[in-house]
Structure 1
Amino acid sequence: MHRRTFLQSAAAVSGLLPLAARPSFAGLYQAAAVATGDLDAVRGDGRPVTLPASAIKDLAASLRGPVLLASSPGYETARRVLNPSIDRRPALIVQPTGTADVRRAVSFASAHGLLLAVKCGGHSFSGMSTCDKGMQIDLSNMRGVRVDPKARRAYVEGGTLLGLVDHEAAAHGMVTPLGTVSHTGVGGLTTGGGFGRLARKFGLAVDNVVGVDVVTADGSVRRGDPTENPDLYWGVRGGGGNFGIVTNFEFQLHPFSGTVTGGEVVFPIDRARDLLRVYAEWSQKAPDEVYVDFVMSQPPGGKGGIALLHVCYCGDNADRDLAVLRTLGTPMANTIKVQRYVDFQKSGDYTDARTMGEYMKSGFTTGISEKLISGIIDGFEPHPARSTGVFTQHSGGAIGRPPVGTCAFPHRHAQHALMAAVSWKVGDDGAPHMAWAKKYWATIEPLTSGFYINEVNDESRAVLNANYRENFPRMVAVKKQYDPTNLFRLNANVQPA
């Protein structure tokens, strides 16, 4: 979420662009069907493969949704993810309209051994929801929510953005805890874990999934819940995209007033150390109803840096439980107020993310020690050509109560997720900024314990395997059962052998 805060502080380096409209289906079938030649592509193992024009025509004819080639209208928008430093060009893109299309697309990719990327909201830092010369399955035409208020369930299509879930649930006086930016894809968020502003009260997104429909590597659609394919249900909740494409989620809903006390208290960046010390103590002791993040952000040029606390409170005693905020002195700004939760969930959105290159490192903490505070503050270096930010995401509370083996998500020990990020103007060389971020993080990483797989970047296989902790052996077994050829490899990947 606070990636957005420090990016917004750098808006002066690049104008915001309007979001492209969703492409019309008109003419897209024909664009695929009139392919006049064979198509060069790559397999999952990197070897080249040629897709016959006849095979592409057959694929297009079997789908309700479009197949996009490089010359097709809508291709340029579909291939992009929100991190514009990722510039990859799939050989073909399928935009399913339902589970049947997903099954057909997966079967095609499997039959040809294609490198396969799956895109929901496109928020992946590392760009794994797109690829070069493989197939991308873009779920943007599979967005919908149905709420059953009596059963307290929300049925959510796999390409849905979380803002729609918030909106539909709120209309019935209910909520399920998802992320913190309304245009985040529910699929990627949830299968990785799903941290959000209400997670300390109601648990992670994975803790509220009561069933899934998954298209696995053989093109089958399987139900996963506590009694049907329980191993698949276990793995999908925290194993990312390793086991298939979730085309439908069933979420538990909780009665909710619909309002929170939320906003930010903002100070000059020279207050960062003091603020972080207060945060370290308060966040550890706060009741589950309190969600609070620390943010330190410096825009390009070395001036105008800020430190802030971002607060979302879902209880009935705001004066008591947020009293520590009154001890901080007079802020530059204080936006904390009672507001609708669905509005607050949009507060981190911005018009178009595709204006700056980004790189981030992250890790979980079991607390924020004085040594960690010194590492964060003392190593922080502004730069005239980049935005630099450090921020946390409050964990603990209900997040930490389920046993580690409840699902594939293993990091129940986390009290905070800590992130360091840099961004730069598109067209500039990002290498020196990424190098600084890696060097900075190397001084902090020893004080962390594991990391969030939704923020995986360029970690080694050994590091990825170790990050699943004691759940890793079972992850391998589930992977071998449902994806023995590792078709779904563009993720925090677990190999089937």
Structure 2
Amino acid sequence: MGALTEATRVDEAAYRELAGSFAGTLVRRGEAGYDEARRIWNGSIDKYPALIAYCTGVTDVVAALRWARNTGLPVAVRSGGHSFPGQSLCEDGLVIDLSAMNGIRVDPESRTVRAQAGVRLGALDRETQHFGMAVPAGIVTHTGIAGLTLGGGIGWLMRKYGLTVDQLLSVDLVTADGTFLTASADREPELFWAVRGAGSNFGVVTEFEFRLNPVGPTVLAGPLLWPMEDAPEVLRFYRDWITAVPDELTTVVVLRKAPPLPAIPPELHGRRVVTVIGCYDGDVETGQEVVRPMREFGRPLLDLCAPKPFVRHQAMFDPSFPSGWWYYFRACDVGRLDDEVVDITAEHALRIASPLSTCGIFHLGGAVARVGDDETAFSGRGAGHTYNINGNRTSADGFDEERAWVRGTWSALEPHHTGVYVNFLMEEGAGRVGQAYGADKLRRLRALKRHYDPANVFRSNQNIAPAA
């Protein structure tokens, strides 16, 4: 790893041709800033692209794609660089970096927002919350909107308003042959269907148009903590409680060692805890009554659920997922938290060793389930919960042990898997990509892939191969 291929060396003339027509910055291996430029959020990923092209607009994207096609180099697309398995980089290829394309334009009259592909969630929230609105999107503010949206987009507002893809009104996209398209319900409707859940396979989306929803600016949100030893009882009560909560409340269960954050008393730092984190977007007093049964259950260690600005709650997980740590994930959907699922989860959570590793369980339903499963490429709307099991370290030290814990927990849950959220996949093979979409959708997606990207240029992703 790290040595240029012969094909890359002989294309100096083609490189000069690109440089002459490219408005952004080009960074080649060996040049100043290259090592920093190839870094992404997951520090365990170590790839060496031949060229990183920082695009300033659509013209640069078209030029970069045409150059890659002419040279035969593989292509990866990077916006926020949060791809768990590092698919926003490629070895000895071209990285089309969209981070400089970060414009946002809110139209409060039509309740829409246009955001370029380099925008991150925190910036989108900041602009839209100025008008008391938001796009349901994610749980970590330095995530890029592009990758999150194109895979579906789960987050704190999903039970009230749906997934991020459910807010999409249109996308601007450059296909593998350099063609610029706008896809919406009325223009390129089949492509628009595919983009909403499998979008990274069909082109480089340069701009998104979203529907905005009234949100906050104050929400009732935050974590409730119990001792990990109480996890079986807490999870069973939680399972029964959420059957009656309104769609205004979205919850995530997190099992981990309590982090050393200022809001957590020092005597709890490092203690294994089971946490129910909620976000109630509605009347705060009503929300207090909704949350009351959960906060009064058992022997809670800490109650941090309180009224706060939505943007502050959105940033809650940021300290737990900084750039540069080593991350490993396995994920699955389950139908419900039945007794066996609860017992498996509680048993394996007691084995967490790293203070950075977590087991997260996202409660679905509500508006997510009210969209027809065939309306978008995203699958799994009928699932009850999405698991995201992550083994994290600050470096390689102890990372193998965390991966083993993640795999063991995931395997123990395997009899209960109903599918998987594509944005939570690592490099797990075509079979797992198939599980993310199901056989019928995969056939439809493969046919569309043959139409829009027959050479599979966009393959540095959870890849859908063109139909034969």
**TM-score, structure 1 normalization:** 0.87
Q: Distance in 2 between matches of 1:339 and 1:387?
A: 25
SS at match of 1:409: coil
Superimposed CA distance per residue, residues 337-384 of structure 1 (whole angstroms, 9 cap, x where no aligned partner)? 111111211122139724431111111122110010111122345365
Task: Select the residue among 238, 263, 272 that pairs with 1:279.
Answer: 238
CA separation in 1, counterparts of 2:465 and 2:252? 35
Q: CA deviation at 1:282?
A: 1.9
> Deviation digits for residues 105-131 of structure 1, max 9, x if unmatched?
111112222211111111111111112
Deviation of the 1:440 alpha carbon: 2.4
Aligned to 2:443: 473
- Please give the alpha-carbon distance, in whole angstroms, between the structure 2 residues aligned to 1:51 and 1:157: 34
1:162 maps to which residue?
121
Residue 14 of structure 2 is aligned to residue 76 of structure 1: no
- Mapped to 1, the partners of 2:38 and 2:319 lie a distance apart of 20
Verify the 8 A CA contact 1:212 1:248 in the aligned structure 2: yes
Aligned mates of 2:181, 2:363 — CA distance in 1: 34
- For 1:216-231, list aligned pairs within 5 A: 216-231=175-190
Cα distance, 1:384–1:182 mapped onto 2, change above 3 Å = closer
Structure 2 equivalent of residue 370 of structure 1: 339
Separation in structure 2 between the aligned mates of residue 293 and residue 352 of structure 1, nearest angstrom: 16
Q: AA paired with 1:92? A: L
CA contact (8 A) 1:275 1:308 kept: no
Is 1:403 the counterpart of 2:379 in the alignment? no
Identity of aligned residues (%): 35
* Selected match of 1:143 from 89, 97, 102: 102
Counterpart residue number, 1:325: 294
Measure, in 1, the Cα distance between the counterparts of 2:110 and 2:258: 47
Q: Conserved in 2, the CA contact under 8 Å of 1:298 and 1:382?
A: no
- Maintained 8 Å contact 2:420/2:435: no
Do the aligned residues in 2 keep the contact of 1:479 with 1:494 (CA within 8 Å)?
Answer: yes
Task: Give the corresponding residue for 1:435.
Answer: 404
Range that drifts further, 285-294 or 325-334: 325-334
Distance 2:320 2:298 in 1: 33
- What displacement does 1:254 show? 1.6
- Contact 2:104–2:113, Cα closer than 8 Å, also in 1: yes
For residues 22-61 of structure 1, the aligned pairs below 5 Å read 40-41=4-5, 50-61=9-20
1:109 matched to which residue of 2? 68
2:418 matched to 1:449?
yes
Letter in 2 for 1:311: G
Aligned to 2:262: none
1:117–1:129 Cα contact (<8 Å) kept: yes
CA 203–443 in structure 1, closer or farther in 2 if over 3 Å, else same: same
Classify the secondary structure of the residue corresponding to 1:474.
helix
Residue 464 of structure 2 corresponds to 494
Cα deviation, residue 50, structure 1: 4.2
SS in 1 for 2:319: coil
Q: 1:384 to 1:364 in 2, by over 3 A?
A: closer
User: 8 Å contact 2:41–2:82 — kept in the other structure?
Assistant: yes
Alpha carbons 1:94, 1:138 under 8 Å: kept: yes
Matched residue, 2:315? 346
Cα separation, 1, equivalents of 2:211 and 2:329:
32
Q: 1:52 to 1:159 in 2, by over 3 A?
A: same
> Is residue 122–residue 185 contact of structure 1 (8 Å, CA) maintained in 2?
yes
2:280 is aligned to 313
After TM superposition, the structure 1 = structure 2 runs for residues 188-337 of structure 1, keeping only pairs within 5 Å, are 188-298=147-257, 304-316=271-283, 317-337=286-306
- Aligned partner letter, 1:280: R
**Cα gap change, 1:226 to 1:384, in 2 (>3 Å):** closer
**1:91-150 alpha-carbon deviations (Å, 9 max, x no partner):** 110000111111111111122222111111111111111122111111110111101111
Shift in CA distance, 427/418, structure 1 to aligned 2, threshold 3 Å: closer
Asked whether the equivalents of residues 224 and 303 of structure 2 are also in contact (C-alpha less than 8 Å), the reply is yes
Residue type matched to 1:108 in 2? Answer: W
The more displaced of 112-121 and 94-103 is 112-121
On the 8 A contact 2:357/2:393 being kept in 1, the answer is: no
Write the letter of the residue equivalent to 1:473: R
Aligned counterparts of 1:240 and 1:223: Cα–Cα separation in 2: 13
Partners of 1:180 and 1:348 within 8 A in 2 = yes
Query: What is the deviation of 1:387?
Result: 4.1
More displaced stretch, 464-473 vs 200-209: 464-473
Contact residue 11 and residue 71 of structure 2 kept, 8 A:
no
Amino acid at match of 2:276: L
Distance in 1 (CA, whole Å) between partners of 2:321 and 2:254 is 21
In the aligned structure 2, how far is the partner of 1:465 from the partner of 1:385? 32
User: Contact conserved, 1:386 with 1:425, CA < 8 A, in 2?
Assistant: no
Structure 1: which amino acid aligns with 2:460?
Answer: L
In the aligned structure 1, how far is the partner of 2:335 from the partner of 2:353? 34
Are residues 1:388 and 2:347 paired?
Answer: no
Distance 2:254 2:83 in 1: 21
Counterparts in 2 of 1:79 and 1:267: CA distance versus 1, 3 Å: same
Distance in 1 (CA, whole Å) between partners of 2:51 and 2:35 is 11
Aligned residue number for residue 133 of structure 1: 92
Extract unaligned runs of 5+ from structure 1. Answer: 1-38, 43-47
AA matched with 2:4 = D
1:125–1:359 CA contact under 8 A, matched in 2? yes
Change (3 A) 1:89 1:377: same
Q: Secondary structure at the match of 2:242?
A: helix
Per-residue Cα deviation, 1:392-423 (whole angstroms, up to 9, x for no partner): 11211000111111111121112211121111
